Amino acid sequence: MINPFPYSDNNKRYHTLDYFYKQKFHSKVFKVSLNAGFTCPNKDGTKGYGGCIYCSKSGSGEFAGEKEKDLVTQFEDIKNILLKKWPHSKYIGYFQANTNTYAPVDILKEKYETILNLPNVVGLNIATRPDAISKECYDYLEKLSQKTYLTVELGLQTIHEKTARLINRCHDLKTFEESVKELRNRNINVVVHIINGLPYETKEDMVETVQYLNSLDIQGIKIHMLSILKDTALEKLFQKEHFKVLTKEEYIDIVVTQLEYLRPEIVINRITGDPKESDLIEPNWLVKKFCVLNDIDKELVKRETYQGKKVIA
C-alpha cells in the first residue's frame, strides 16, 4: 500500500521529528536532555504549591542529566552514549526539567549559551510554562532565535478548565494563548505538550484539545499518555478515587483520531509516554514504548487514514 502522507520517508503516516530534522539539517539529530537546576512557579508559591499533580520529583525530567553535574558534563555524558551508535550526529540541547525560563535573563543566557557553544549543537529546545516568561525573556529569546534553531515547549495538557483545576495547572487558557501569540510574533517555534487520559476526561475532550491547537500557529506537538508515578499527588488521587486509566487500545484509538485533526505540517515531537518502569504505577503497558508506536502505525493503516485527513482546508 502506498503511503498517502507527504511528510514521510518510511511507513509513518504522521510527521515525525526524525523526518523533520533530517529534512532541515540533512543529518541525524538528537535532543540531549538537561537539568539546569531550575524550580517552578507552581512549586515555590508564586503561582501555586506542589506543582501539577502528575509532576515527579525530577520535575518531569526523568531522562535529563543529573543536576548535581554541570551542564557541559551532563551533555557530554549523554552525547558520548549516542556517539557509539551514530558517530556523525548533530545535537539540540533540551532544557527539560522543571520550568526553564524561570530565572533572570543573565542566568538563562549563561546556561543556554554554554550549551550552544559546544561542537555540533544546532539548536535549543526550552521547556517552560506560558506564565513564566518575562518581557525581558521574550526579548532575549527573540535574539537567540536569530542565531540558532530555537523551540519553546509550552505545557498545556488540556483546554478544559475543570481538568486544569483538578491537575493544579495554575494558569488559564488565555495565558497560554497570549504566550503562543507572543512567541510567534517574534518568529519563535512553539511545541505544545498535551496529556491523554487525564482524570475524567472523555475521548471527545481529548480530541477537542487537539482541534483547538490545530487552529493556532504552532509548529509541533507532544502527545503523552498520563503516567501515574510513585510519590506524586496523582498517585494519591488515584488511590483515593480509582479514576479510569486508558487501555492501550483506547489510547491508540484516541491518538489516531487526534492525528486526523492536525495539519500535516505540524511536527509530532512525541506520540506516547516514556516513564521509568521503576517509578510507574499505571498504566503498565506504557513501558513497552515500541509496541505502542508500532500499534499506532498499524491502526493508521487499518483505518486507511493519516495525519491531517480530517483537516478542512
Write out pLDDT tens, residues 104-161: 999 999 999 999 999 999 999 999 999 999 999 999 999 999 999 999 999 999 999 9
Q: Answer whether the bond into residue 119 is a cis peptide, omega within 30°.
A: no
Let me know the angle formed at the C-alpha of 87 by 85 and 93, rounded to the nearest 5 degrees: 95
Q: How confident is the model at residue 2 (pLDDT cuts 50, 70, 90)?
A: confident
Residue 12 has pLDDT above 90, yes or no: yes
Q: Span 66-84, mean pLDDT?
A: 88
Lowest mean pLDDT among 34-38, 50-54, 140-144, 164-168: 50-54
Residue 60 has pLDDT above 60, yes or no: no
Say what the alpha-carbon torsion angle 253, 274, 293, 18 is, to the nearest 10 degrees: 120
Give me the phi and psi of 150, to 5 degrees please: -110, 135
Task: For residue 284, give the DSSP letter.
Answer: G
Beta partners for residue 218, in sequence order: none
Q: How confident is the model at residue 58 (pLDDT cuts 50, 70, 90)?
A: low
Q: How confident is the model at residue 46 (pLDDT cuts 50, 70, 90)?
A: confident
Q: What is the mean pLDDT of the chain?
A: 93
Other CB atoms within a 10 A radius of the CB of residue 147 amount to: 9
First to last CA, the chain: 25
Angstrom distance (rounded) from CA 199 to CA 242: 9
Domain ranges of the chain: 17-302
Task: Report yes or no: 116 and 93 within 8 Å, Cβ to Cβ.
Answer: yes
Q: Span 301-313, mean pLDDT?
A: 93
pLDDT at residue 85 in the model: 81
Q: How confident is the model at residue 49 (pLDDT cuts 50, 70, 90)?
A: confident
Q: How confident is the model at residue 97 (pLDDT cuts 50, 70, 90)?
A: confident
Whose CA is closest to 224, among 162, 283, 300? Answer: 283
pLDDT at residue 274 in the model: 83
Q: Span 13-18, mean pLDDT?
A: 97
Lowest mean pLDDT among 42-51, 109-118, 265-274: 42-51
Alpha-carbon distances of 21 from 11, 80, 124, 192, rounded to whole Å:
17, 20, 13, 18
Q: How confident is the model at residue 311 (pLDDT cuts 50, 70, 90)?
A: very high
pLDDT tens track for 235-261: 999 999 999 999 999 999 999 999 999
Residue 56 has pLDDT above 80, yes or no: no
Whose CA is closest to 14, among 302, 273, 288, 258? Answer: 258
Q: How confident is the model at residue 170 (pLDDT cuts 50, 70, 90)?
A: confident
Q: Span 22-27, mean pLDDT?
A: 95
Which cell is 60 given? 518531569
Q: What is the largest CA-CA distance in the chain?
A: 55
Residues 17-302, CATH architecture: Alpha-Beta Barrel (3.20)
Angstrom distance (rounded) from CA 198 to CA 294: 23
Let me know the angle formed at the C-alpha of 192 by 225 and 155, rounded to the nearest 5 degrees: 75
